[in-house]
Amino acid sequence: MTKCKVCRAEFQKRSMTHKVCSPECAEALSKIEREKKRLRAERDQRKDTKQRLEALKTISDYAAETQTVFNKWIRMRDWQAGHGCISCGTRKNVQYAAGHFRSRGASSALRFNEDNVFLQCNKKCNKELSGNSNEMRKGIIKRIGIERFEAVDNHNEVKHWTRDELLTIKSDYAARIKALEAQIE
């Protein structure tokens, strides 16, 4: 005696491949197996599509994804530490950006440098005042000290990021975000 794969009723097997107790259960099992096969095919197709899209990504696509994760980390880091805008100090309920002291275009090597990027109110300081650099300079020196600030301010290396470097940076900051979110909860 064995149990039917569909209705779980006990029945006598007639062969090794006999799995169900009746023709109705055989039809139901057939539908279940077709549905499983269809779902497996859809999953495989999504996986294949994802791999193809990943292969089409350019370095700038990876850089943009990494920048998004890095900027989120900067905003979370400064907000959790109780800092407001690096330029004007506001902690109002406004939208914040991750403001670069040395812009990504001016110094590509400092794009993901934590001493170059700080919480900044998005509309006023970052956009309207184009970074509010004089006040930002004062805020950075106050927060990290003159030596670290001068290291950032005098850094002129040009950096061409590789795919692997960007993926490593992205995964590192994603892990930091996850750890910080776990602390908050």
- Residue 132: pLDDT band (50, 70, 90) is confident
* 123 has a pLDDT exceeding 90: no
Mean pLDDT within 100-108: 90
Q: What share of the chain is helix, strand, coil (3-state, %, to 5)?
A: 60, 10, 35
* 93 has a pLDDT exceeding 80: no
Report d(CA 37, CA 32) in Å as an integer: 9
Mean pLDDT within 104-114: 91
Q: Is the dihedral of CA 40, 43, 47, 49 positive or negative?
A: positive
**Angle formed by the axes of helices 59-80 and 163-184, nearest 10°:** 30
pTM, two decimals, is 0.75
Alpha-helix runs per DSSP H in 12-116: 23-56, 59-80
* 152 has a pLDDT exceeding 90: yes
* 77 has a pLDDT exceeding 80: yes
Position 105 scores a pLDDT of 85
